[in-house]
Amino acid sequence: MIERTLTLSNRLGLHARAASKLVRTADRFEAEVWLEHDGRRVNAKSIMGVLLLAAPCGTELLVVCEGPDEDQAMEALASLVDARFGEDQ
Amino acid sequence: MSLALTGLGVTSGIAIGRVHRLTPGELSIPEYHLDHDAVAAEIERLRQAFGRGEHFFQRLLDRLGAGGAETARELLEAHRLILRDPLLIEATEERIRSERINAEWALVQQSEQLQNEFRRMADDYLALRREDLEQATSLVQRELADQPGTLIGSEVPHQLADTIVVAEELGPAEMTVLAQRKVAGLITEHGGPWSHAAILARSLEIPMLVGVHNALDLLGESEPIILDGHYGAVLAGPDDSLLGHYRDKREAWQRRRLDLRRYLGRPSRTVDDHAFTLLGNADLGPEFQRCLESGVDGVGLMRTEYLYLDHSQPDEDSQYRAYRAAVEIMQGRPVTIRTLDAGGDKLPTILAFAQGPNPALGLRGLRLSLAMKDLFRQQIRAILRASVHGPVEILLPMLTSIEEVRQARSFINACREDLRAEGEKIDPELPVGGMIETPAAALIADQLAAELDFFSIGTNDLIQYVLAIDRSDELVNYLYDPTHPAMLMLLRRIQQAGRRHNISVTVCGELAGNEQTARLLLGLGLDRLSMPPAALPAVKRSLLEADSRRCRAEVEAYLDGRSDHADGLALLKSLNDPSRDD
């Protein structure tokens, strides 16, 4: 199991498109992926769970991956967040 | 106006809208329990329906290609992701497994719970996602019904905010779907105030009339009507002035409701710092949810009659599941479960064989339970088993003698011993209380208090028995007076007995849920009130702004004949006079 804290720097945080992209990314891997924020832990492969986290810009998100491809999953999520989900700002 | 129909108002709200006549089957979502060995196949059926739904969206996305409009793509993508969401699929599977219910029913429940979570987020964007969830779920429902997916497209209009649905009768699943679509109001030809649909309408605060004879024949599709729950009337073909009048009334009512919500979070203390306790009355899941949202300190009255509506004898396991679900929703707040209170006006059907000449004075409440031990044993065992999941109390209805209490307690103890011998875990301290709702019980309250762990006063029945009038009898209902001195003296007597024996006394029944009478009860020293969650905000405000010492002094003076109030009405008026609040 690996953990890493990622900081959301895109303008809208885990809203709309960002949530959808995150879920689709997590879904590509076999590993289980969890997100923690504000005492709440959700399955990163659940669109509704991710939306209900309602994590705004600036949030420090704890990502937990567990499974055979956990390293690749973490890498993919980190680069998605770092690239601000491909949003303009 | 061209036509006025009458029925029984289940809630006092007002709805204005156009008629939609619901034809049987139009919205029907089947509900049934599964045999143990059918569970696996049912879960497989659910997975396949989800799989087909997701596949349907995937094909649409593929067809849209890269050049498709971005918003359409996003919408479809959102639906597709919902249809593979573990929060929806796995949790629905778990419902099928643990409650042993069919896929359609489990899906309605899980979807409703998630939608409630979205509603709570109070965010416009998330509110839209709630609609996605609703639409995606309805696609799966259609798949389950073996109908190939067409995007949404049910015959029932998707948005019902301006629609009043008229039906012969409504089932709980239909109610859930109609509520999700924000139906303005409901009218049924059959069904009484204790039907599933009526209970749900009350808890969801949807204006509803039941027992409107021939409504389907007399009301035309799309006809504009007004539903007045307070007067139990349907006004068809209203003119502009009547419409205007009702629009104002509806708006004032909604404004007041929103206004009152502000008081919910405040600590329950009067202006002179007297603590009071507000509890909720609830029967079904959504009502417990509402209780929780209203900030109750517990459920003071969980009625169990509805469990007996569908089956004449629900088995122990299905009762256990219902009680456990209630206890779990309340997250550690105590739930007081009243044992079956059939008889009288409630559910005569299960008693068809035991109906005496005068049901109100016949085999009802605890008398019935003691006469039908198998029925009673199932219920007590189910309650005891649920008590490991959170604090539970048993409430015995319709007491008249100490002997009944002793019999019931020894029966409960025997059930407890049986369960222990079977290796079941149960709460060893589970309190057993009694409903004080007959004059006999009120008069021997002192003796009863020595035998019971708490009292609950059922004011509705007590008033009828004390004043010897049937409220539903139009010839005498003018005599129905909750402030009759005989009533107040009995209430004081019960309160004092409880205090002497150091047991809690809760008032349930209409007096407790009425903002006009809450201060009267406070003045009698009755500061634990249990009511429908919808009534709680107004009662809370009334008590927050009350001076308990003044209420006490005024009520005492009135009862001792030392006050100048001509009657109970004048007393109520003075107690609730805002100019005397400080």
The angle formed by the CA atoms of residues B435, B436 and B438, to the nearest 5 degrees, is 120
User: What's the CA gap between B75 and B266, in Å, rounded?
Assistant: 41
Please give the pLDDT value at position B151.
Answer: 29
Length of chain A in terms of residues written: 89
Instruction: Give the pLDDT confidence of A38-53 residue by residue, as tens digits.
Output: 888 999 999 988 888 8
Please give the pLDDT value at position B23.
Answer: 72
Q: Where are the beta strands (DSSP E) in B118-220?
A: 163-167, 185-188, 208-210
Q: What is the ipTM of this complex?
A: 0.85
Give whole-number Cα distances, B389 to B101, B195, B268, B285, in Å: 21, 28, 27, 16
Interface with chain B: mutation pick from A37, A48, A50, highest number of B CBs within 10 Å: A48
User: What's the CA gap between B200 and B11, in Å, rounded?
Assistant: 10
Which of B87, B121, B125 is opposite residue A49, by nearest beta carbon?
B87
| A40 has a chain B CB within 8 A of its CB | no
| A73 has a chain B CB within 8 A of its CB | no
A15 in active site = yes
Residue B388: pLDDT above 50? yes
User: What's the CA gap between B468 and B176, in Å, rounded?
Assistant: 40
User: What's the CA gap between B472 and B346, in Å, rounded?
Assistant: 13
Looking from the CA of A73 toward its CB, the CA atoms found within 13 Å total: 27
Looking from the CA of B550 toward its CB, the CA atoms found within 13 Å total: 19
Of the residues A8, A10, A15, A55, which is catalytic?
A15
Q: Where are the beta strands (DSSP E) in B410-559?
A: 432-436, 454-458, 504-508, 528-531
What is this structure's pTM?
0.63
Q: Phi-psi region for residue B267, left (φ > 0), alpha (ψ -120 to 50) or beta? A: beta
Enumerate the residues of chain B whose CB falls inside 8 A of the CB of residue A43: 86-87
Q: Are B524 and B250 in contact (CB under 8 A)?
A: no
Q: Are B232 and B209 in contact (CB under 8 A)?
A: yes
Instruction: Give the pLDDT confidence of B463-485 residue by residue, as tens digits.
Output: 999 999 877 666 777 788 889 99
Higher pLDDT, B502 or B145: B502
Which of A15, A16, A48 is opposite residue B85, by nearest beta carbon?
A48
Nearest to A87 by CA among A22, A23, A36: A22
Higher pLDDT, B149 or B206: B206
DSSP type of residue B147: P
Other beta carbons less than 10 A from residue A7's beta carbon: 11
| B123 has a chain A CB within 8 A of its CB | yes
Residue A32: pLDDT above 60? yes
Shortest alpha-carbon distance between residue B57 and chain A (Å): 15
Query: In angstroms, how far apart are the furthest CA atoms of chain A?
Result: 34
Instruction: Give the pLDDT confidence of B427-461 residue by residue, as tens digits.
Output: 888 999 999 999 999 999 999 999 999 999 999 88
Reported as type and span, the H/E element at residue B143 is: helix B124-144
Taking residues A29-45, report their average pLDDT.
91
